[in-house]
Chain A
């Protein structure tokens, strides 16, 4: 099938097998390796990307369903060579250990901040409830998101 959509702010037109998921499309079709393959069944959250500003599981959404929508992956957080405030906050606070969950967590946090620029800690934890980190615990991650919210 032929697909046209917006990817990280740029128009994207590509061919993909009908049965592909968004995760297949990003990694195998477009070579964007920032979006990680974790459980492959929608549970762990590391493949989270944004579609029209909302978080989706790239492993569960069919590529055909992003037609005409706007996708943002971790590669699209950076703007004009400058890191997103979330990326800076995660780096400054050491809110990552192995880093495998980090792209998904940052996009889940981005979706929250787009909708609610000043979330409470409870709202941050709820927004990240579908993103599992098996290394650090969540303290630094939540602190980093709250720090970004405080500066907006």
Chain B
């Protein structure tokens, strides 16, 4: 890792980190970036590990989506993450693309990011000066912009245990073809108390703003409430209000906002009715 940090920090031209290459190589081919040097993380030891440390799941930055979706540890303990990871693009992209690369790319319409936001994940970062840990919610700084300083490298993602008894789900809505990135993707994690009220309600959305976001207003609308039709509609309404979508070839901002309302509502009703 030290060699990679040193190579990244050398001053002879622009260097870019490459993990799976599914985003970067495509950008190079499209002429969007023209790095002088690529620094690959492929041979940094143990960077693709998937392990449980003190009850938390730790994913090395080079763990691929294919590794994560198949991992017994992930499927048993963090099924929301396994589900969202399984929805990334296509099998061949999942076999190359990595979790560290996905997050560092800071794609607003990432599939794993909403699940990881719901799970209160943290990003571990190494750099020339020090190592640090950033909550994922503060890691996404802007449109395709992660909170990485020059020379810094994402090394791992740490995911604490999900709340006991919580049920979670991820829905991905694509307006064109199924292997596309989501127009909107919604992850939710809810836990109900003995009388059926939400003791925990976490909702995160991809494709709804310049970065993946937690929908704090929607969460407030549910906390302490039973998942009645009215409460679910109020949460969906709040989420649509919190969305700050962009228009692009996939859909207009107003259509995206409407789809946030629809898919937050559908996901919460599915979680309530146990049909998932």
Contact = CB atoms under 8 A, between A and B. Distances in A.
A51 B64 CA distance: 13
Interface stretch (A3-11, A53-61, A90-98, A137-145): A53-61
A129 B179 contact: yes
Interface in B78-126: 89-93, 95-96
Q: How many B residues touch the partner, as a band?
A: 20 to 34
B89 A130 contact: yes
15 contacts: A40-B29, A41-B29, A42-B22, A42-B25, A56-B95, A57-B92, A57-B96, A59-B25, A60-B93, A61-B20, A62-B38, A65-B21, A108-B91, A129-B90, A130-B92
Interface in B1-39: 18, 20-22, 25-26, 29-30, 38
Q: Which 8 A-B pairs have the closest CB atoms?
A: A130-B90, A54-B95, A55-B92, A60-B25, A41-B26, A57-B92, A129-B179, A130-B92
A45 B25 contact: no
B260 interface: no
Interface in B180-209: none
Nearest to B90: A130
Given A55-B95, A108-B91, A130-B90, A65 B40 contact: yes
B42 interface: yes
A59 to B, nearest CB: 8
Given A57-B22, A62-B18, 7 more contacts: A56-B96, A61-B25, A65-B42, A108-B92, A112-B91, A127-B91, A130-B89
A99 to B, nearest CB: 19
Contacts of B93: 42, 57, 60, 130
A60 B95 contact: no
Q: Which of A42, A51, A130 has the most CB of B within 10 A?
A: A42
The main secondary structure of chain B at its interface with chain A is mixed
A100 to B, nearest CB: 17
Contacts of B66: 54
A48 interface: yes
A149 interface: no
Nearest to B89: A130
A51 B179 CA distance: 21
Interface residues of A, number: 28
B44 interface: no
Contact of A130 (B29, B40, B91): B91
B46 interface: no
Given A56-B95, A60-B96, A65-B40, A45 B22 contact: no
Given A65-B40, A130-B179, A111 B25 contact: no
Interface in A39-84: 40-42, 45, 48, 51, 54-57, 59-62, 64-65, 67
